[in-house]
Amino acid sequence: MGTDADADGSRSDLEIARETTLRPLSEVAADLGFNPDAIESRGADISKVTLEGVRSSLAGDSSSTGRTVLVTGMTPTPKGEGKTVTTVGLAQALSRLGERTAVAVREPSLGPVFGIKGGAAGGGRSQVLPMEAINLHFTGDLHALTAAHGLIAAALDNHLQQGNELDIDPRRVRWPRAVDCNDRALRNVVVGLGGETSGVPREDEYVITAASELTAILGLAEDLSDLEARIGRVVLAYDRSGEPVTPADLSIAGAATALLRDAFRPNLVQTVEGVPAFVHGGPFANIAHGTNTLIADRVAEATADYLVTEAGFGADLGAEKFLHILGRRGVVPDVAVVVASVRALKRHGLEQWPADFDRLAKTDPDAAADGVSNLLEHVRIVESMGVPAVVAINVFPDDAEAELSAVEAALAHRDVPVARSTVFAEGGAGGVDLAEAVRSAATAHEGTSFTPLYDLDDPITEKVATIAREVYGASDVEFVDGAAADIERLTDLGFDDLPICISKTPYSLSDDPSLTGAPTGWTLTVRDVSVSAGAGFLVVKTADVMTMPGLPARPSAEDVGVEDGEIVGLF
């Protein structure tokens, strides 16, 4: 399908997308065994799986589910190392090998699209289409989440205004407001001004929609009943005696679920090469689990031979959360692909990361080889939980052969399969070696079981210490700024049996972004612990977390426009 991308990247993702001839979605759906009634068209090239389609796909024998491939990575640079491109390209390569394959990735947020990072549809000859729709309004899922989040916020403030029967402490409201764009001016606001008919004045904040707990809940709900139950459990605020106040207490969980009814259903599109693709959900990868929805993964596992899915950030954050949160829900990878790039390897081979990327642009085989220490730590992380690993070297057009060879030589005597990937330029054809290595690893480890690093009934401090020691390589943990009191309170409230979702910098295995390689002898500093009771995990923060990004000095939005009815400047 479509045309070959230029190896030098001379054509934009949008140009490649527009030159691609898409298959009818009915044919794409049929690849997964869906009949025409199982999908609902949202335009010529976008569909949603119907509720009946979801139920029927999951009604079969669970033993017939396909193999799952988790794409994670080494510690990235701020520019990213190509996990989504690798995810899409690997799915296309597995399809070329004759495997019935589906890919599952998150929906893009408008914040990164119009900010600095760009979209989340992959790129080049390994992207999901139609990329314009996917990166903008798509099926309206994120808009529905924004509306549902706002409804709950409005109901809470209305309760305060209408007599506050639940005795909510306005100083202990934990539910922010949300909008799906980067707007730093909304990080701290005051609401309820304008007199006694305009509400109870209090401090408030906005988060980007991807950071809403509702987005995480949508990503983990098993069905609509579970979705409503989870929304009902969210801790919105505390009353004056310290007890949680929830949407169920406000009788608003049902209305929020109604707004999210259609958003719950997975979105089905296709890749450049016509491989079925579920693009669904988009939880923040820092204060949440950072992957597509549980329901999309389960449907894909039940209908394909191979599901290729992705976790946010490196294995220390993304794969660890995926395994400890989704793995406990039954989505267990048969193999993990750890994506590396020469750029990231050089960063971790240098003693100190430079302030800009000029140093990383210089050919430096020794630095690339030295950075393998970081890559191998991420391999160790997934293997420590019983998941075999394959290394994918995501090749960029300007990578020097000397650097690539140096990395391969540094990995030659390690017991891990390694393959170059050129899927950005070549699509599935550029990932066949990787696909063969993945298939071999998955079949060779048939029956491999996921082994969590901690038990849910371990004390909170012990669970955090286990992750710090066994995943990050820390020697100790320090709880500061009231974190110990947070843990005591959450334990008293009965939230101590939940899995842990640690928020730390993605740019180092440690909690200090300036530390490269594989740091040792350091102490993880925990500053805050809170509960996402609806999502079902504890959020452990090691630093201030930016849940409302700002726009850069020159945002990507300045390049986007409409000419003759066509969108231009979108990547």
Domains identified in the chain and CATH numbers: 13-139+263-444 (3.40.50.300), 141-256 (3.30.1510.10), 460-541 (3.10.410.10)
From 72, 218, 227, select the one nearest 142 (Cα to Cα): 218
DSSP string, 455-513: -TTS-HHHHHHHHIIIII--SEEEE-TTHHHHHHHHHHTT-TTSPEEEE--TTSSSS-T
Q: What is the pLDDT along the chain (571 residues), one digit of tens a residue?
A: 433 344 445 677 878 888 899 999 999 999 999 999 999 999 889 999 999 999 999 987 544 468 999 999 999 998 889 999 999 999 999 999 999 999 999 999 998 888 876 666 888 999 999 988 999 999 999 999 999 999 999 999 999 999 999 999 999 999 999 999 999 999 999 999 999 999 999 999 999 999 999 999 999 999 999 999 999 999 999 999 999 999 999 999 999 999 999 999 999 999 999 999 999 999 998 899 999 999 999 999 999 999 999 998 999 999 999 999 999 999 999 999 999 999 999 999 987 666 567 788 889 999 999 999 999 999 999 999 999 999 999 999 999 999 999 999 999 989 999 999 999 999 999 999 999 999 999 988 766 688 999 999 999 999 999 999 999 999 999 999 999 999 999 999 999 999 999 999 999 999 999 899 999 999 999 999 999 999 999 999 998 888 999 998 999 898 899 998 888 887 7
Tell me how far apart the alpha carbons of residues 340 and 73 are, in angstroms, rounded to a whole number.
Answer: 6
What pLDDT score was predicted for residue 308?
98
What pLDDT score was predicted for residue 571?
72
| Cα dihedral value 124, 509, 296, 263, nearest 10 | -90
From 156, 329, 276, 293, select the one nearest 219 (Cα to Cα): 293
Tell me how far apart the alpha carbons of residues 90 and 84 are, in angstroms, rounded to a whole number.
Answer: 10
State the amino acid at position 125 in one-letter form.
R
Tell me how far apart the alpha carbons of residues 212 and 225 are, in angstroms, rounded to a whole number.
Answer: 20
Phi, psi of 167 (to 5 degrees): 60, 45
7 burial via Cβ count (<10 Å: 0-12, 13-18, 19+)? middle
